[in-house]
Structure 1
Amino acid sequence: MKAYRKLSNIIEHHPIVSILTLLLLLIVSSAIYLSLKGIRFKIPDETVQISMTFNDSQELVESEIIPEETDKTRVLTFTEAFYFCLVTFSSVGYGDIVPVDEAGRTFCSWLILMSQFFIYALLPIVTAGIIDLNRKKRQHLLDTTTS
């Protein structure tokens, strides 16, 4: 019961901390799910091929760096999954990590819907809580100065 009262007090007096904590928990749990579930993602590959041409006296005549265009898919590490969830949840969506199967697309759709829920549903609640808290503080100041 004490823990519930303490949590209730934190939520009432610090709504931003509560929402940010919930947001962080959602992103971390999503990243853990992605890294453990085995959902495959297309990840940019930084593999390059270096081509060099030498003349008879072993002097470099020409060199060229050719990026290899390969579609590599693999399961994300926790760090990559956390990055992906954070970028997706913030609605930035760089597109550098892309789900390639049905499970990945379904999960990403859920993550996008949750981010929109946070932005459009919880933000007004937090704002109203902050306004109400400021109103109570002003009323308390007025009560103490008039007494």
Structure 2
Amino acid sequence: MQSDNDAPGYCIWGVDNVVYGPVDLPTLVNWVQEERVTADTWIHLQEKDNWLKAGQIAELKMFFQPRSAAGVPAPTISAPDGTSMTLKPGALRRVRILAGFSDRQLERFVDFMELHPVRQWTEIVKQGSPGDAMYLVLEGRCACAW
């Protein structure tokens, strides 16, 4: 049985505490460009049998350089109480159904979003209640009670 040792493999420790991979370098670069992998994401280099943060890997360093202010600004959503939140496309791509969206599609999606900060233990939605909304938890956690 032959093993494919020609190209180094990379395993990614996801935000959901699941290890993904191994993947090849082009796939990893694609995930960095889609902001699924950030500079602080842990990557296992199979070739060296070592875990490093993505920002420390030579092949990926150029993707984590600070961007100029001339770049496209991240979309911002505001709440009725005056608070606002700036969203990076990568933050929304962590939601599985939005993972395949392009930056332009995500920016358009954000145009329809409303920010509603919620205090702990607040009921957001109840099963059987009529509605046409989609809820995304961007910070913190939520629970489902039956």
With the length of structure 1 as denominator, give the TM-score of the two structures.
Answer: 0.23
**Structure with the higher helix share, 1 or 2:** 1
With the length of structure 2 as denominator, give the TM-score of the two structures.
Answer: 0.23
Q: Quick check: which has more Rg, 1 or 2?
A: 1
**Higher RCO (Cα < 8 Å, 6 or more apart):** 1
